[in-house]
Chain A
Amino acid sequence: MNAAAALTESQRHRRRRWQRRREGALTALFALAASLAVLVTLGMVMTLFSGAVGFLQRVGLVDYLFGLVWQPQIGMRADQGLVEGQFGLLPLLGGSLLITVLALLLAVPIGLGAAIFLAEYATSGQRNRLKPLLELLAGIPTVVYGFFAALVVAPLLHYLGGQLGIAVSAESALACGLVVGVMIIPFVASMADDALYAVPQAWRDAAIALGATHAEMIRRTVLPAAFPGLVSACLIGFSKAIGQTMIVLMAGSLTANLTFNPLDGVSSMTAQIITLLSGDQEFASAATLSAFALALTLLILALLTNTVGVSMNQRWRQRHGQN
């Protein structure tokens, strides 16, 4: 190496020390960014807990969890004499679950069927065309589905009910459920397809070699093998369905009815949170604080199902030696 151009040892040393210090600072910054997720989660949990605790101090856990009426009186001004309403969770939980179950009834058969077609029957050309379409579908914003539910499906069902002589509410749970179902079809299909695709080809060959028809091979070999993955797809679908907001907000009823009739109007926890909190309101009122309790309940439900789904999927993948 050219001696004249080469740096002296002490120069190099100084540069190295400077560089190390810079790298140390940068590494600390990176670590901080990585830890931000914990901070956000902590903030979220603290926010929800403090609100929920304030709410439960006024209403009581039993009244909240087992109350049959949800009727928060939102006093517009303090001088109206805030009428404390009733804060029973069950009508909202029932509404959320009713809509979610309806959604899964639509999305699971269609999603799984589509996934089986994609993974087992589709030619690679069909697969290459359908799979991106699926991913694209998953990108449609919820407000679009909300519009669809409120201005197309709900009036349509109302009209059809009228023609058939059945009383269908203009804000029926059925309309919400169906549209939520349409929304989660791509999620269920895409995850189920991944699960099916991960089943080793050798198992299929073995079943075919034993003389199974293609359908028998799928039903007896592929589906049982992929079962945990399929269940996890449904659970994650459930988690998405119960956490969505806009469809029920736009197409559901504003009052919470405790009913299992899909033709009636129901509200959901998410929609109530928005109704309670959008606009100016007194921050410390029971109605406002109830939104935090609702959000906490919702978060627990959504994360529980999602975690179970994700961990099932992971354990299943590990067992099959895939990553």
Chain B
Amino acid sequence: MTPPSDPKFLLRNVSAAYASKPVLRDVSLSFADRQISAILGPSGCGKSTLLRCLNRLNDRLPQFRLSGQVLLDGQDIYAPDADVIALRRRVGMVFQKPNPFPKSVFDNVAYGIRLHNLTNSASALADAVEASLTDAALWDEVKDRLDLPAQQLSGGQQQRLCIARALAINPEVILLDEPCASLDPRATARIEELLVALAARYCLILVTHSLAQAARVAAVTALLEEGAVIEVNNTSDFFTNPQHPKTQQYLSGG
């Protein structure tokens, strides 16, 4: 059900500028469902901007301009009649720094469910929270302390809580903006394990600066430099047989 011809997300000639300073230049990319696609690139190359274009999180930046098309299941999410809120329900996001709300573990996960009126019974809400936490491999660690303020969890736990929070509203796509950048190797390993497991059900788009991470988890890898796509390929080919000289240079640490 995931032929490359039917991608979940499709970007066509997307260019973006902030205060007339170009950030993305003519990006055309597709992201398939039920797999992890990784976007690599040096810092400041526009990978985060690219990711934030996919759930229109850049909308509120003053002086931000975007041209081109971003299609989710074939529908332009920047169309004048597109519903941003509905879009963000379908496209969840996990950020670089774990950013749980200053609320309890339970309320963090329940936030999105309540926000979208997904349920109106307390028991259904509790079930949904438990399911999300289980999917995020956090349930066993927090099931006895759901009332604990989320900020008291460890960094890795906080990040998994943020994943659970994103999962709770049943998204189709999950955007991951360097989710392991602020975590130690052990916590990173757990998150990567979790991502691989989630790839069976969601379209995951992972921005990372770690070559090793992309090589470990991604099915497809793209390299972005100065806002332009340099190369896209299957991860194994990308790393073993890079086509573009810039990719070779990037992979060799230049």
- Do A and B come into direct contact in the complex, CB within 8 Å? yes
Residues of A within 8 A of B (CB): 1-2, 4-7, 11-12, 15-16
* Contact between A2 and B118, CB atoms less than 8 A apart: no
B20, CB-defined interface residue at 8 Å: no
Least CB distance from A3 to B in Å reads 9
B123 at the A/B interface (Cβ < 8 Å)?
yes
B81 → chain A, closest Cβ, in Å?
Answer: 14
Contact residue among B120, B123, B170 (Cβ-Cβ distance under 8 Å from A7): B120
The answer to whether A1 and B117 have CB atoms under 8 Å apart is no
Enumerate 7 A-B pairs (CB-CB under 8 Å) in ascending A order.
A1-B119, A2-B121, A2-B127, A5-B119, A12-B117, A12-B118, A16-B117
Complex CA distance for A12 and B83, rounded to whole angstroms: 15
Q: B124 near A: Cβ within 8 Å?
A: yes
Q: Are B121 and A1 in contact (CB under 8 A)?
A: no
Q: Number of contact residues on B: which range applies?
A: 10 to 19
A1 neighbours in B (Cβ, 8 Å): 118-119, 124, 127-128, 131, 170
B116 an interface residue at 8 Å Cβ cutoff?
Answer: yes
Knowing A1-B124, A1-B127, A5-B124 are in contact, say whether A12-B116 is a contact too (CB < 8 A).
yes
Q: From residue 127 to 152 of chain B, which have CB atoms closer than 8 A to chain A?
A: 127-128, 131
From B131, which residue of chain A is reached at the shortest CB distance? A1
Q: How far is the CA of A189 from the CA of B117 in the complex (A)?
A: 54
Q: Which A residues are CB-close (under 8 A) to B116?
A: 12
A-facing residues in B155-197 (Cβ within 8 Å) = 170
Asked if A5 and B121 sit within 8 Å, CB to CB, the answer is yes
Chain A min CB distance to B83 (Å): 9
CA distance A6 to B123 in the complex (A): 11
The answer for the CA separation of A7 and B131 in the assembled complex, in Å, is 18
Which of A1, A7, A16 counts the most chain B CB atoms within 10 A? A1
* Minimal beta-carbon separation of A15 from chain B (angstroms): 5
In whole Å, how far is B117's beta carbon from the nearest beta carbon of chain A? 5
**Within 8 Å CB of A6, what residues of B?**
118-119, 124
Given contacts A12-B116, A15-B117, 4 further A-B contacts (CB under 8 A): A1-B124, A1-B128, A2-B128, A4-B121
Chain A nearest Cβ from B105, distance in angstroms? 19
Give complex CA distance A2, B131 in Å: 11
Q: Which of A4, A5, A7 has the most CB of B within 10 A?
A: A5
